[in-house]
Amino acid sequence: MSFSWLFGIIIGAAILFLAIYAVTTMIGNEEELQGAKTSKEIGILLSPLETGFESSKSSSFTMPVETRIYNSCNDFGTFGRQLISVSQKNLGKWTETDLEVGFSNKYIFSSREVEGKKFFIFSKPFLFPYKVSDLIYMTSSEKNYCFISAPEEIGEELENLNQENLFNDQDNFPEECIKICFSGDCDIKVDLVREKVEKEDQTFYFSGEALMYAAIFGDKPTYECTLKRLMLRTQELANLYDKKARLVQSNNCNSNLELISFSNKLDLIENSEDLNTVIPDMEDLQNKNEAAICKLW
């Protein structure tokens, strides 16, 4: 074989290899970009779930292909961030994803990985004692949740939500179902008196119905981290209401709420178990605000 042939073959192979490498990398990047775009779109689609008068709001979205939505959280900075990334099935393989899209103003509770084509989301306002945010609960249509012996109020709310994968009527329970009990023993145990949820040998403490649903639908690390983020926003809102109180005070309309001390106590909350340390202060603030002439919230 002459040198020119050998030279041509080697260089040709190198060019071909580079071209294949470039195309593969570009396809990978495009898949990641698509995943990031979808994550951002999901986050944006959650904006209309902000409640006004409503006690809860439900919606759903369907993806064109089988999708895994990864939900995680970090509590860095003033508010922390909810992180969403998406992996989609392409030619029978899940696309790899490293790109996480962060949202500071969203609080999403779900398992770490939610898989399916159709996803249900419902939201509920979290009050502590003022409205802190709307909590968003995300589930896949592939998982059913059966509420057993739920109190009337919760049962009614579930019926009003009309979400296809939430069941309250025992006669209509599907065969495969994650059972949630308010008394007795099953997959997820809810103790409304002690305000705790037990599942997978882990205990989640809550305060109020919004956090109860968060404990039911969320996984432990995301629940604890998102709760910490909620406390950060509660703290920031306490400072905001304190500044509002000073503005209103200049009009001689006193509210006399100890918001700074409440904010300092919130700073000490490390996990859901510490929630009960601020409940008395929270209730005291609520009562004082109710009685004030110039209500702060």
Partner 1 sequence: MVKKGQVKIQQMAFMLIALTIFFVLVGLVVLVFTFSGVTDAATELNERNAMLLVSKLSNSPEFACGDSFGNNKLACVDFDKVMALNINIDQYENFWGVSNIEIRKLSSSGRNTLCTQGNYPNCDIIRLRDKDLAGFDSSNFVSLCHKEKFEDTFYDKCELAKLMISYEVANAN
**Contacting residues toward partner 1, per CB under 8 A:** 2-4, 7-8, 11, 15, 18-19, 22, 26, 29-30, 33, 37, 40-41, 44-45, 47-48, 50-53, 78-79, 103-105, 130-133, 236-237, 239-241, 243-244, 247-248, 251-253, 293-297
DSSP string over 141-202: TT--EEEES--HHHHHHHHHHT-TTEE--GGG--SS-EEEESSS-SSEEEETTTTEEEETTE
Picking from 72, 59, 70, the residue whose alpha carbon sits closest to that of residue 118 is 59
- The answer to whether the peptide bond before residue 129 is cis (omega within 30 degrees of 0) is yes
CB of 54 to partner 1, least distance (A): 10
CB of 137 to partner 1, least distance (A): 18
Residues 6+ apart with CB under 8 A from 20: none
Residue pair 292/286 in contact (Cβ under 8 Å)? The answer is no
CB of 244 to partner 1, least distance (A): 4
CB of 7 to partner 1, least distance (A): 7
Choose between 187 and 284: whose C-beta lies nearer to partner 1: 284
What is the C-alpha to C-alpha distance for residues 88 and 26, in angstroms, rounded to an integer? 17
CB of 138 to partner 1, least distance (A): 17
